[in-house]
Structure 1
Amino acid sequence: MRSSSMLTWARPAMIALVAFSLLTGIAGGLMRAGVPVIGWLPANWVLPAASLHAALMVCGFLGTVIGIERAVALHAPWAFLAPLASALGGVCLMSGLASLGVLMMVLASVVFVLVNVFIVGRQTALHTCLLLVSALIWLLGNVRFAHHGLANGTLLAWLGFLVLTIAAERLEMTRLMRVRSWSRPLLGVCLALLLAGIVLAEWQDQAALLLWGLGLVALSGWLISFDIARHTIKAEGLSRYMAACLLLGYVWLGVSGLCWVGMSMGLATRDAALHALGLGFIVSMVMGHAPVILPAVARIKLHFDARFYLPLALLHASVLWRLLAGHNNATWLALGSTLNAVAIAAFALTVVSAAWSWRQRHP
């Protein structure tokens, strides 16, 4: 009875904390792209939202969501300390308590590493070991954040945490299909390039960007070649939708890698590198997995239909607009960024309407 009452208030509280980091992170991203949203935020939130956009999105939002998913998988109450700490860390960063916010992020990643250690102990497999590596990379990113701020090394570690997490989850799905014996060694080469770039960023920035970019391109090719989405795109319903999200995301992953390589050569491709990866790849993965993860983790059941394709199409069209039309044009960049935010908002509304539709069909 006590645990049931705790869940009753804990679930809405966690949703509110996740939404806080997401909304403030989006607002910060819009401001960085030149969209005039300052009047929509309290005055003391403007600077931290814009300057800490990456921390809010990667740690406060995505780190918390992944932490919740892993805590549910472990079935251990203490594991929820990780997402709680990362969510509160986002609130601290926005409240002017930067030092406390960074400390909470480090604490979140330490607990998250322990969670993954326990998961590997229960199920020792290649994908669970890779999830543990991704957790360690998140910890490295948060330690770098504490010492170096938002340097390239911090960003590579944070993004590496997300990329390796997704790669591990897709690797798990390859168990459902036959793959060639040399696919695993090829994946090892891709991951070695990514990890070398993340580690090297502490000393050799340009070389790190080059290796990281090459790793993303290689991983994109591996996923397109060996992921089960190549087969499920021919299916119907939710399976086809998920495959579309995945395959489109893999294309953007390769585009991002090329842009990171361009950065290592001194080209002005930073915005494209970050947002082809953050929006085109990672948000597309979120859209693809949400209809499966929300029922399992948050107990929110969704009625899937064609409405989910609208925010997906808007997301990828807006990323394409932002990268092409907005590359040398501040006005088009601001418009593309606005459409990115609209796509995320449209997806949130789609999830809400799909949950309502399910309840109507299953009173």
Structure 2
Amino acid sequence: MDATSRRAARILIMVPAAALMLLGLNSGLLLLGVAMPVVNEPDLHSTLLVFGFVGTLISLERAVALRAAWAYSAPVLLALGSVITITPLPTIIGKVVITAGLVMHLLQYRAIWQRQPMTATAVQAAGAVTGIAAGLAWCGGVPPNRLVPLLAVFLILTIAGERLELARLASPGARAERLLLILSVGLSASALLTLTMPVIAVPVSGILLLAIVVWLLRYDIVRGTIRQHGLPRFVAVCVYLGYGWLLIAGAGWLLGGARTEGPVYDATTHAIFLGFVITMIMAHAPLILPAVLQVDIPYHPALYVPVALLQAALLVRVVAGDAWGITGALQAGGIGAVVAILLFAATAVTVSLRERGKKKSRVAT
């Protein structure tokens, strides 16, 4: 398969992932009571975003890195299973297909480990195991709101492992890496226990999550790149913002305890999935998408606009909406977050097309 065919295949996988992201956002607004033109199952809000969008994107990135045809089965199964859950077919079929995709995702890390054993890979594999547990529990009938700790840890450890890969450039040391691995395995185990003993496991998960954030703040290379300019500073700002939201989430789990609804649940959940995960995706998009889709997304100051809008929207939602109980603020914050995500996508496309036009102009002259 030549480069053009490979790119086309990756785009074919990303198209349903992007559509699932839109449906997931649509479901989130429906849960807030916002009238939407598309009415789908609101309870699938978290699973569509975590498995259908983020999971597909992460596993596609790993498949590209492995350069092995079998590795693409992970993103294909995750996207396909998520699509099935919103069709008239029995939902269990989609759940099983998603879980199969998560198993293939774990096998991706096994293949990466065989090529080069690294602590970062082990941390990400711990996240993948947690994701499989979430898929199995979902197949067993556990509702999505009880799966939140598992879904969160799946993504948190995946991103933490990626940050550790970069931290190795600053040589954190074998002892520091072992500490992160111990904390990660502990967080994965405590997330699993939230299914059976949430009253104990959720606060313990909060403690371990806070410890991981402290580790990342201590060893992440953004401590140095924040003083640079252009893309390195943009990434560093986003990473620090993401860590800030993760601190809020860890405190929420520790102090708020086991909850599956209510203001504390809403605040901690969206601090993780929007404040941390989406901000991190925005940070890494100019680095990841060129490798995955072979498109250039050069740095432009306009990228800060959707990032700032997302942070403002989340503050409105968490402070005025969750803490003060203002329903309008919840809806405004939710709408603002959706607009920020769509604006980031539009901005990335615009700067990419602008760069492509510049290249054509240079070639023509």
Q: In 2, distance between residues paired with 1:137 and 1:208? A: 14
Amino acid of the residue matched to residue 18 of structure 1? Answer: A
SS of 2:140's equivalent in the other structure is helix
Kindly provide the CA deviation profile for residues 55-104 of structure 1, in whole angstroms up to 9, marking residues without a partner as x: 10000000000010000111101111110111111211111321211111
- Unmatched runs of 5 consecutive residues or more in structure 2: 361-365
Q: In 1, distance between residues paired with 2:2 and 2:142? A: 39
* Contact map agreement 1:141 1:153 (CA 8 A) in 2: no
2:343 alignment partner, one of 343, 346, 358: 346
* Contact map agreement 1:303 1:355 (CA 8 A) in 2: yes
Q: How many residues align?
A: 355
Q: Does 1:90 align with 2:82?
A: yes
Name the CA shift for 1:165/1:282 in 2 (closer, same or farther; >3 Å): same
5 Å-filtered alignment, 1:75-86, equals 75-86=67-78
Amino acid of the residue matched to residue 307 of structure 2? Answer: L
Shift of 1:31: 0.9
Q: Does 1:67 align with 2:59?
A: yes
Structure 1 stretch displaced more, 262-271 or 251-260: 262-271
Name the CA shift for 1:10/1:182 in 2 (closer, same or farther; >3 Å): closer
Name the CA shift for 1:8/1:112 in 2 (closer, same or farther; >3 Å): closer
Q: Which residue in the other structure is 2:188 paired with?
A: 195
SS of 2:339's equivalent in the other structure is helix
Kindly provide the CA deviation profile for residues 112-156 of structure 1, in whole angstroms up to 9, marking residues without a partner as x: 111211111111111112222222211111001111332555222
Q: Does 1:54 align with 2:46?
A: yes
Q: Which residue in the other structure is 1:215 paired with?
A: 208
Q: Which residue in the other structure is 1:316 paired with?
A: 311
- Unmatched runs of 5 consecutive residues or more in structure 1: none
TM-score, normalization: structure 1? 0.93
Q: In 2, distance between residues paired with 1:191 and 1:25? A: 28
Q: In 1, distance between residues paired with 2:177 and 2:7? A: 43
SS of 1:117's equivalent in the other structure is helix
5 Å-filtered alignment, 1:182-261, equals 183-188=176-181, 190-261=183-254
Structure 1 stretch displaced more, 146-155 or 118-127: 146-155
Q: Which residue in the other structure is 2:159 paired with?
A: 166
Amino acid of the residue matched to residue 335 of structure 1? Answer: A
Q: In 1, distance between residues paired with 2:256 and 2:88? A: 32
Name the CA shift for 1:9/1:240 in 2 (closer, same or farther; >3 Å): closer
Q: Which residue in the other structure is 2:280 paired with?
A: 285
Name the CA shift for 1:91/1:151 in 2 (closer, same or farther; >3 Å): closer
Q: In 2, distance between residues paired with 1:206 and 1:148? A: 20
* Contact map agreement 1:156 1:198 (CA 8 A) in 2: yes
Q: Which residue in the other structure is 1:139 paired with?
A: 132
Name the CA shift for 1:227/1:8 in 2 (closer, same or farther; >3 Å): closer
SS of 2:295's equivalent in the other structure is coil
Q: In 2, distance between residues paired with 1:280 and 1:81? A: 29
Q: In 1, distance between residues paired with 2:194 and 2:102? A: 20
* Contact map agreement 1:34 1:330 (CA 8 A) in 2: no
Indicate the percent of aligned positions where both proteins have the same amino acid: 34
* Contact map agreement 1:28 1:53 (CA 8 A) in 2: yes
Q: Which residue in the other structure is 1:130 paired with?
A: 123
Q: Does 1:356 align with 2:361?
A: no
Q: Which residue in the other structure is 2:149 paired with?
A: 156
Q: Which residue in the other structure is 2:363 paired with?
A: none
Q: Does 1:298 align with 2:290?
A: no
Q: Which residue in the other structure is 1:117 paired with?
A: 110
Query: Over the residues paired in the alignment, what is the CA RMSD in angstroms?
Result: 1.8
Amino acid of the residue matched to residue 349 of structure 1? Answer: A
Q: Which residue in the other structure is 1:35 paired with?
A: 34
Structure 1 stretch displaced more, 170-179 or 330-339: 170-179
Amino acid of the residue matched to residue 26 of structure 2? Answer: A
* Contact map agreement 2:44 2:144 (CA 8 A) in 1: no
Q: In 2, distance between residues paired with 1:293 and 1:265? A: 35
Q: Which residue in the other structure is 2:11 paired with?
A: 12
Q: In 2, distance between residues paired with 1:218 and 1:139? A: 24
Q: In 2, distance between residues paired with 1:347 and 1:273? A: 23
Structure 1 stretch displaced more, 184-193 or 336-345: 184-193
SS of 1:109's equivalent in the other structure is helix
Kindly provide the CA deviation profile for residues 219-260 of structure 1, in whole angstroms up to 9, marking residues without a partner as x: 222211221111100001100000000011101100011112
Amino acid of the residue matched to residue 162 of structure 2? Answer: E
